[in-house]
Structure 1
Amino acid sequence: MILEATMILLSLSSVSSSDFGFNDAVLQIKPWPTENCSVVPAETRCKAVTEEKCKICNEDVCKLNIVVSFPNSSQYILNLNRVSKLVDETLTGINLDYEIKAIDDKCSQEIVLGKIIDITEWCPHVIIGIPCDYPIAGVARISKYLGNAGVPLLAPSAFTYDFTAEKISMSNEFYHLINIGQADYRSFAEFLRIIFTKYEWKSFLLLYEKGDFYEIGGENACYLTMSTLVYTEFVGYNYESKDLSNINSSDPNSYSDLLKESIGVKYGVILSCASHSKIRKVVIEAAKLGMMDRNEYIFFNFALYNNASEPDLPWYDANDTDNNEMAKKGFDSVLTFYPYRETNFNEIKEHTFRGFYYLNDIQEALIMYVDTIKEIIDNSSSDFKGCNIVQRLRGMHYVNENGWNLTLNCNAQRLSKFALVAQTNGKSKIMATYSIVDKTIGFWDPGNFVFPPEKPVCGYDLSNCPTYDKVNILLISLISVIFFGLVIVSIIFYRHYKLKAEIYSQSWKVNYEDIAFLTKDRRSSLHSITTIKEYDEMSLAGDKQLFATIGYYKSIRVAIKKLPDVKVNLSHQQLIELKAMKDLSNDNLVKFYGACIESPNNCLLIEYCQKGSLQDILENPEYNLDWTFRMSLIMDVTRGMHYLHGSPIKSHGALKSSNCLVDSRFVLKISDFGLHFLRGNDKSDEADANSYQYWKRFLWTAPELLRMNNPPAPGSQKGDVYSFAIIMQEIIMREGVFYIKGTSLEPKEIIEIIRSGPDANNGSPLRPTVSSENVSEQSDEITTLIERCWSEDPHDRPDFATLKTKLRQMNRKENDMNLLDNLLTRMEQYANNLEALVQDRTKDYLEQKRKCEELLDQLLPKSVAQQLIMGESVTAEAFDSVTIYFSDIVGFTALSAESTPLEVVDLLNNLYGLFDSRVEHYEVYKVETIGDAYMVASGLPERNGLKHAYEVGRMALDLLSSVKKFKIPHRPDTPLRLRIGLHSGPVVAGVVGHKMPRYCLFGDTVNTASRMEQNGQPLKIHISSATKAILDKVGRFDIELRGEVEMKGKGKVITYWLNGEKADNVFLGEDFLSPHHIPISARPSTPRPRSIYDPDTSQRKVVELRTGLDAIDFVKEIDTIKKCHNHVNKIEPEQTVLVKITPSDETEVPLLPKTQENR
């Protein structure tokens, strides 16, 4: 019997012991790794062999010598004849010579050791065997001395705990032993220890048989199993043990006496390991004694040679049919430990003998060994030392044709799984699984099984429980029945009262003030990252039929659907329906959060699905829906409608593709069901009975409903099935609703034909086209199903329960996928479909972002703008020395009064455009313009030493020169009189405001610069003594003393006029330094003659080159150049300048590196 349902469930389970309340930390040994097994300490590696012998390959000839050691007796599952034949069949066709030595070891240590020693000179390369534990130990100890530095021992039955202990070092006596069998006693002990810890059992009874259970592990298998328990994981536990080998089976009372004496009322937990017949007799006698009646006893049995995926029938005996029913009852309290190997048993069903899996273990291990040898040969290596081959096998993985796999951990032990199987009415069910990979219980489903305490409460004979008078028992029982009857009646009344209270509590009711509508301003807010994300998602989704307003209710994003502005009086039945809507919960139904019935704000609040409706997706060519995706959408509709039809809502009544919404995970959810007493008041669609949209909404309606004068608003369940068929046709064809190939009928014409019946369409009902080209391999099945769903007779249409089952059978691929894989598949398909769209949107976004950053750089200093973009706060900063420029237009007020507003705007735009074009040539920052006022500063936000006065001074002269040439567009004969003021000193600068942040300057220096401008004169540059002191250090400006000037708040101060720059080239002092530029006085001021080559005239001109000067100043020293474009910012020291004189009045000044030719 194969546990298919259980295996499917187990394949979906991937959890740890802690998830089921188990504590795997109690185990003595942690899991062994399976990777990097070759990384071992030096002391554990193979020792160098000075003279190698027993080589596998000599020159070009390679041959394997294989020893097969098993008893030559059919009583053993692994016998010499069967294994030798398997080895020979496995090695056939491996392109490698081999020779097999078969040894009949008779499970005797003396015999097998003698025969192994006798064939030492034959040079065995690998040993396969031995089925008994004691002989295995002897052979494993001498295997390290055989052959070429040891011989690997592939042991399928090395079960005892000594063979699974640590053996990663060459010094370990069992280093060459490789456990290839599917079971081991210690793993059973660990599995059981975790369960004991959960149920806090500290005592138990052992029942074992010594000498009659030798099919694979020898006559001591059960004895060693129990020994492993008590000497490894159960040290310190209280236990007794009984050997069933000496029991008299002919005495009918022997088993009963054993149970009474050994178990009695002392132990509630019994561990057994014996032959099938003896375990069955023990269970039958325990059932007869009543040990199985009150869930006070539990039996754990060990089945070493079966598999949990194909368990036997332990209760059945063809020779004892009279006791089969009693045995079946008894085994309901027995839990059996099995090795567990998941596989497709249909492919290996011809293998029916017990223990077949162990034979397969040998084949897998032999193939893995041969592959290792071939790999060494293919790599042209001669390292065939046995210890190295053992090291290579550790951590290896092999999968055979049946899906079985063999993986060895770094301790040379096979990674196996074990299962705990329960029997219920003779049927097996896997209750738990345990894996030695991580030593955790990965599956746990006890069902209704009851785990008793470690000691019986009453005992099988009730000896631990007092007896009572029957009259008193009857009286107490009667009183109890009456009491519990009253309690039940009270509960019924209470539930009825509570239900009524819940109905009238109106938990679905929503206050309109609690709804936060998502407005456009909020979506575009710079301070709301979440809403920006939402806005981007809406943008990526494309054009959709979004008829609902988006908002937030209790921090949940919802869709708000407006209702007609009418007063609503709710009846008791309508309140029940509203509560039922609130209680609905299904992954494929849109969640109903509540309703607001406060006129004029009537609305419904439902779950927001940002991908829009199914109709939107089907009509959007950007979505590439493969067949798997389409079937997923169809299955979502089926699941949602199946749940809806089983709920109090009963039916939909308006199922259509526009009412099927898709959320962000591409899960389809059905909406617009129920509450027809609220939705039915909306008559807007009936305003124009001849419109396209009016008739289109009936294309999903069933024929029998179309023919009614007043069809019910909730529709019918059969009508929903018809609507579902139309939706399936939409999904498959993607040609729009009710697509009929070769025709162009309008919705109104289609509805009239359907209403008229089949006679109006040549005797056949009018239905959409379903082409097999658009359907997957189930074309016939899906087409037939659609035709059944839109059948003219409602009784011929299947219900959604049938549809769900049928579609599951068609959609096997999705059924094999778990929920996470299904979701990931959908999201991957969506990502692939929208990848190009996202790239385009991202490109547009980056372009707009670049423009915004450029605009921000124009409004604020670049360093400040970068801080704001990164979300950092900009703190105010103090600057020790800056120069501030203020200017305004004298007579601007009168000029504005005589001009129109547009003329004033045009004037200022042209003027400031001129100013801006000149300012960008200097190391200054434009602070702001207000009306005719213009403010510039230098020395911030980037400090430049004392160069700020120099830069602002030259800029002021430039602007003054430019404004003299400026013509007012609408009054060209009227000159502009610019008044300029400069002042230098300390300021504090910072960003002010959040809505429109501005970079502002504060301090007395700003006020003083403004006063200098206000007390100046037209077409003159008024500077303070502080600015004059800095400019004097430059030594190149023409400054004139103005004298004392009365200034508001300052009194009388001495000021100056800046008239221009001196013609001669005066040395700039050492104090005139800029932190980002080379000092002007970096070189001596003495002119140095240079010979400059003119390529046009082939002549050399001798000029004076002063290093460290600006290129524009250097060019002024050349007589032959009238005008020069400043192509070079700075002439570095030790550079040679080549000046090219062109026929036009322009000069190019490139920099050439210093070479001998350029000199």
Structure 2
Amino acid sequence: MEEKTIETSLETTKKKENITILMMFPDIDYFIPNLKSLLIVYEYIVHHYQISNWLHINFKVTDSNCSISLAPHVLVKTMLSTIPDVVFGPFCDLAVAPVARLLHFQNIPLITMGAVSNEFTLQRQTMYSTLFRFGYRTDELGTLLVKLFQYYKWSFVKFLYEDNPKPWHECQVLLRPIAHTFASNQIRSDNRKITNHDIKDNFKSIFIDFISNNASVSLWCVNPQTFRSAILTAHKLGFVNGEYVFIYLDTVLTQENTDEKSLSVRKPWYDPNETNNQINENAHRAFETVLFVRQRLYTGERFRQFADNIVEFARQRNRTKQLIHETIGTDETNFYDAVVTYFKALKSHYLYRNSEELINNNETKTNRRLDADTLKTMICNRSIEGINKNITMNQICDRIDIGYTVFDLDPDTEELKAVLAYPAEPYSIENNQLQWLNKSRLIYFIDRNSTFIPDSPRCGFNNLKCPKNTLIPIWGWIIIGLLSIIVLLLILGFILYRRAKFEAELKSMQWLIKWEELSGRTLLHNSVATPSFHKLSLSQKRSSFSSNHSDDSDTDVRTRQTFTKTAFYKSSLVALKRFYKTKLETTRALQLEVKAMQDLTHDHIARFIGICIDPKHQYIVTEYCPKGSLQDILENDEIKLDTMFKHSIMHDIVKVNY
């Protein structure tokens, strides 16, 4: 950066020049800066430097009202009568844009402390080529926030803003370039406009549905009362736990935040009108997680002396009430530097033109007017002496040595303290790092032990990383799950095995007996004999069925059975019952029914063994009953049955109870 002083002397010249100056700023009492306070500064400059001794000024003053329509209308109306040589103002971005576009075609300098948006940076050569900015810019604000995010390794942020916070320095103007700067540095962002419904809902939806999902950091551009209410809700919902941080953009200068001695500036959490002390205590606790970003105000002996001179000048003219807080602030100081720089450049320009005319013996008519292109060659990309410090202008004539400061709540004094700033002072192009104002004083979140907030909460968003403590650890549940799967597979395998075995038994038709398998068929008879009814136990009956036949059992069979046909099947004595059916189809239904009969066992039921379906030899094979059958009892004349017993037998036969 080239160091150059622009003809600091503003003494009287031989020839008095003529110039037209148009000054348009908002004439709104609570607006900073307002037209009345800037007029005092302008008059002080003219008086202090005796500008009227060498310059005849056609001075026109008007109210821009921060209006996108009124500001260009006033400019056009003025230009119909006289073309201004320079325009001081407007301040608001919406008013500056149309005025700067009009002056772009006339090559007339537009000097302002406003126009903070980076739109004026991006479109400087095509639409705003005659713009000279001497105030704060969102470029530095975005850079400050990016460096802060990079320092803490934050990668995602949520923007929250109101529609039209007062004054008319819309939050969208601030947040749009900040979001652009974040995106170019791989910092993701999302935004949400705060509505009346959110305020009535006490911001619960904002914290629960918007912030808590995926962001630990939120950036707020709202009025102070709205922000205090929101932070109290954050405390109530448990967001003040050292895992969330709230950044408040207190960058729009108002009467409330320019008085450094006021309670609202030092203790923004405190409400003197609040009767419930507990609410103030909760607000104090909640504001420990808040970072305030403000314009870096001027300090130092040079600034205080300058401010005292302005106040004394206003007092002599009985106009101190027109100064905000009866003093001057940053914007008035920047305006002073801008006007003085212009007058110095104008004086140098006139001196140069006068010397040119003398050299040429007045033969050449030189352009006496200081246009925007000429002014650029004199102040752009240079360092110029200012009232408080050196003014550093970049290659597009933007002042870049003023910036922003981050404030944090001091746990000892319960007041906001400046902790870091950007750009660093003294300003240097090479030094583009954050400036920690007190290296022993870190940013405290919650308390002195909390100096770092991670990009995501310890347990993650929605506590996904911290499952609730249970009696069984997670590896225990894994083992239980694996064992359960194994048991289910074993049960399923057993069921499938039983099913396959059952189907195999059905298909094998083991109940189907060939006639050749029935041995001892010569024992089959139909002769009448006297049956014998020996008292045999159940075990004896079973053994007689399963053991090989002996002579004694053979003798018993021959002498006791009268009506039952018998045979030997697999060395066991079985009973045969003839049935007559020309054709027997072995369907699945029949197989299931026969299988059920084969599996049926009971002490009072003769067990079913099988069926022989050979032609002319169709028999049902059942367990042999040594004591005989009901038919043997009824047809044996030797057994005397009384009438009551016969009726009982008949009843059982009818009811099938045998």
Q: Distance in 2 between matches of 1:372 and 1:312?
A: 40
Among 98, 109, 121, the residue aligned to 1:152: 109
Normalising by structure 1, we get a TM-score of 0.33
Deviations 1:346-385 (A, max 9, x none): 6558864798211221122111111111222344255533
The answer to whether structure 1 residue 173 and structure 2 residue 173 are counterparts is no
Match of 1:241 in 2: 191
Q: Distance in 1 between matches of 2:5 and 2:179?
A: 31
Tell me how far 1:160 sits from its aligned partner: 0.3
Q: Distance in 1 between matches of 2:410 and 2:109?
A: 44
Q: Distance in 2 between matches of 1:191 and 1:313?
A: 23
Q: In the alignment, is the contact (CA less than 8 A) between 1:107 and 1:132 conserved in 2?
A: yes
Q: In the alignment, is the contact (CA less than 8 A) between 1:204 and 1:239 conserved in 2?
A: yes
The answer to whether structure 1 residue 205 and structure 2 residue 158 are counterparts is yes
Distance of aligned partners of 1:321 and 1:299 in 2 relative to their CA distance in 1, 3 Å threshold: farther
C-alpha RMSD of the superposition: 3.4
Tell me how far 1:59 sits from its aligned partner: 10
Tell me how far 1:223 sits from its aligned partner: 1.1
Q: Secondary structure at the match of 1:234?
A: helix
Distance of aligned partners of 1:36 and 1:97 in 2 relative to their CA distance in 1, 3 Å threshold: closer
Q: In the alignment, is the contact (CA less than 8 A) between 1:340 and 1:419 conserved in 2?
A: yes
Among 363, 367, 373, the residue aligned to 2:346: 373
The amino acid across from 2:179 in the alignment is V
Match of 1:361 in 2: 334
Q: Distance in 1 between matches of 2:404 and 2:28?
A: 29
Q: In the alignment, is the contact (CA less than 8 A) between 1:68 and 1:103 conserved in 2?
A: yes
Tell me how far 1:437 sits from its aligned partner: 4.4
Among 206, 210, 216, the residue aligned to 1:268: 216
Q: In the alignment, is the contact (CA less than 8 A) between 1:213 and 1:274 conserved in 2?
A: no
Deviations 1:71-110 (A, max 9, x none): 2222422233333343233222322322321222222222
Normalising by structure 2, we get a TM-score of 0.56
Report 1:1004-1015 matches (<5 A): none
Deviations 1:899-953 (A, max 9, x none): xxxxxxxxxxxxxxxxxxxxxxxxxxxxxxxxxxxxxxxxxxxxxxxxxxxxxxx
Distance of aligned partners of 1:321 and 1:327 in 2 relative to their CA distance in 1, 3 Å threshold: farther
Q: Distance in 1 between matches of 2:159 and 2:403?
A: 24
Q: In the alignment, is the contact (CA less than 8 A) between 2:214 and 2:461 conserved in 1?
A: no
Report 1:215-294 matches (<5 A): 218-220=168-170, 222-235=171-184, 237-247=187-197, 249=199, 251=200, 253-293=201-241
Q: Secondary structure at the match of 1:456?
A: coil
Tell me how far 1:228 sits from its aligned partner: 0.6
Q: Distance in 2 between matches of 1:273 and 1:353?
A: 28
Q: Distance in 1 between matches of 2:351 and 2:14?
A: 14
The answer to whether structure 1 residue 339 and structure 2 residue 278 are counterparts is no
Q: Distance in 1 between matches of 2:282 and 2:326?
A: 27
Tell me how far 1:115 sits from its aligned partner: 1.8
Q: Distance in 1 between matches of 2:5 and 2:158?
A: 40
Deviations 1:545-603 (A, max 9, x none): xxxxxxxxxxxxxxxxxxxxxxxxxxxxxxxxxxxxxxxxxxxxxxxxxxxxxxxxxxx
Report 1:755-794 matches (<5 A): none
The amino acid across from 1:455 in the alignment is S
Q: In the alignment, is the contact (CA less than 8 A) between 2:235 and 2:286 conserved in 1?
A: yes
The amino acid across from 2:17 in the alignment is C
Match of 2:574 in 1: none
Report 1:211-610 matches (<5 A): 211-214=164-167, 218-220=168-170, 222-235=171-184, 237-247=187-197, 249=199, 251=200, 253-293=201-241, 295-304=242-251, 305=253, 312-320=266-274, 322=276, 323-344=279-300, 348=307, 352=325, 356-379=329-352, 380=354, 383-386=368-371, 387-399=373-385, 403-414=388-399, 415-425=401-411, 426-435=414-423, 437-438=428-429, 439-443=432-436, 445-446=441-442, 448=448, 449-458=450-459, 465-468=466-469
Distance of aligned partners of 1:261 and 1:76 in 2 relative to their CA distance in 1, 3 Å threshold: same
User: Deviating runs (4+, > 6 A) in structure 1?
Assistant: 307-310
Distance of aligned partners of 1:320 and 1:391 in 2 relative to their CA distance in 1, 3 Å threshold: farther
The amino acid across from 1:109 in the alignment is I
Deviations 1:101-126 (A, max 9, x none): 12222222222212212222412111
Q: Distance in 2 between matches of 1:84 and 1:212?
A: 26
Q: Secondary structure at the match of 2:73?
A: helix
Tell me how far 1:178 sits from its aligned partner: 0.9
Q: In the alignment, is the contact (CA less than 8 A) between 1:77 and 1:354 conserved in 2?
A: no
Q: Distance in 2 between matches of 1:74 and 1:334?
A: 30
Match of 2:72 in 1: 113
Deviations 1:20-49 (A, max 9, x none): xxxxxxxxxxxxx455899xxxxxxxxxxx
Deviations 1:660-718 (A, max 9, x none): xxxxxxxxxxxxxxxxxxxxxxxxxxxxxxxxxxxxxxxxxxxxxxxxxxxxxxxxxxx
Size of the aligned set, in residue pairs, is: 407
Distance of aligned partners of 1:177 and 1:159 in 2 relative to their CA distance in 1, 3 Å threshold: same
Q: Distance in 2 between matches of 1:335 and 1:461?
A: 24
Q: Distance in 1 between matches of 2:87 and 2:27?
A: 16
Q: In the alignment, is the contact (CA less than 8 A) between 1:266 and 1:456 conserved in 2?
A: no
Q: Secondary structure at the match of 1:119?
A: helix
Q: Secondary structure at the match of 1:440?
A: coil
Q: In the alignment, is the contact (CA less than 8 A) between 2:217 and 2:244 conserved in 1?
A: yes
Distance of aligned partners of 1:375 and 1:225 in 2 relative to their CA distance in 1, 3 Å threshold: same
Q: Secondary structure at the match of 1:72?
A: coil
Gaps of 5+ in 1: 1-32, 39-56, 473-1159
Distance of aligned partners of 1:417 and 1:248 in 2 relative to their CA distance in 1, 3 Å threshold: closer
Q: In the alignment, is the contact (CA less than 8 A) between 1:298 and 1:451 conserved in 2?
A: no
Q: Distance in 1 between matches of 2:103 and 2:195?
A: 34
Match of 1:856 in 2: none
Q: In the alignment, is the contact (CA less than 8 A) between 1:290 and 1:460 conserved in 2?
A: no
Q: Distance in 1 between matches of 2:65 and 2:268?
A: 29
Deviations 1:954-990 (A, max 9, x none): xxxxxxxxxxxxxxxxxxxxxxxxxxxxxxxxxxxxx
Q: Secondary structure at the match of 1:145?
A: helix
Q: Distance in 2 between matches of 1:201 and 1:209?
A: 24
The amino acid across from 1:369 in the alignment is Y
Deviations 1:456-512 (A, max 9, x none): 233798676333379x9xxxxxxxxxxxxxxxxxxxxxxxxxxxxxxxxxxxxxxxx
Q: Distance in 2 between matches of 1:409 and 1:60?
A: 33
Q: Distance in 1 between matches of 2:397 and 2:108?
A: 14
Deviations 1:986-1044 (A, max 9, x none): xxxxxxxxxxxxxxxxxxxxxxxxxxxxxxxxxxxxxxxxxxxxxxxxxxxxxxxxxxx
Deviations 1:866-902 (A, max 9, x none): xxxxxxxxxxxxxxxxxxxxxxxxxxxxxxxxxxxxx
Distance of aligned partners of 1:324 and 1:460 in 2 relative to their CA distance in 1, 3 Å threshold: farther
Gaps of 5+ in 2: 7-11, 312-323, 356-365, 474-658
Distance of aligned partners of 1:321 and 1:334 in 2 relative to their CA distance in 1, 3 Å threshold: farther
